[in-house]
Amino acid sequence: MESYTNISNSLIEDENLSHTEFRVMMTLIRYYNTDLGYSFPTRELLVKKCRMNKDTLGRVLNSLEEKGYITRSKREGKAGRNNIYYINKYLVGQETSSQASTKPKPNNKSRNKKKQATEPQEDLDYKLGYIESSLEFARDFRDTELAELKEVDMKIIERVCEEMRGETDISPFVFLLDLQKCKRGIN
């Protein structure tokens, strides 16, 4: 069975990427898991699919992270530790995202721009501003997570923020799970 990968045409036209960076970006996008919100191919798979040695791959991954195209993180699993790759640019539907062009900060704290909570309550910017002024996140909300957030009532968001207040490095995924639990408890 044939499979396809949707990519943004902007990736092909990006003159800031070397040919090796382009190849790695394409491979990371190919192995992107929409349910999890990240890509997690092994380094061995990246070396094989990108047709480069492990030293070159390391330099390319460092460069992509410095340029803000990806953010790397560690994941503990049954097979031990491995890298996961958050793709900050060029996922289809992500081109206009406020986080898609923001360079990651070294401390890996939230990179979404802080927004003042002065807009209408049902507006996504207001919700995001409220959440980020209340809690400290380990990473940005992905586009799929923002879409979920858009559908949640502000009262539920306020309740979950109050329950999680004081926690640090919260995963947006965990936050959304708590929103869903709270939502089911209310409805």
* pLDDT, tens digit, 9 for 90 and up, residues 105-127: 333 333 333 333 333 334 777 67
- Of the listed ranges 84-93, 125-134, 162-171, the least confidently predicted one is 125-134
CA distances to 14, 30, 69, 74 from 21, rounded to whole Å, are: 11, 14, 10, 21
Q: What is the mean pLDDT of the chain?
A: 77
Predicted pLDDT of residue 132:
76
- The pLDDT confidence band at residue 1, using thresholds 50, 70 and 90, is low
Q: How many CB atoms lie within 10 A of CB 163?
A: 11
Note whether 138 and 167 are within 8 A (CB): no
- The pLDDT confidence band at residue 64, using thresholds 50, 70 and 90, is very high
Instruction: Please state the rounded mean pLDDT for residues 56-62.
Output: 95
- The pLDDT confidence band at residue 23, using thresholds 50, 70 and 90, is very high
Is the pLDDT score of 151 beyond 80? yes
Rounded to two decimals, the pTM is 0.50
Predicted pLDDT of residue 76:
58
Residue identified by tokens 């996008």 is 29
Is the pLDDT score of 101 beyond 70? no
Q: Could you give all domains of the chain from N- to C-terminal order, each with its CATH number?
A: 9-87 (1.10.10.10), 124-186 (no CATH)
Strand partners, 81: 76
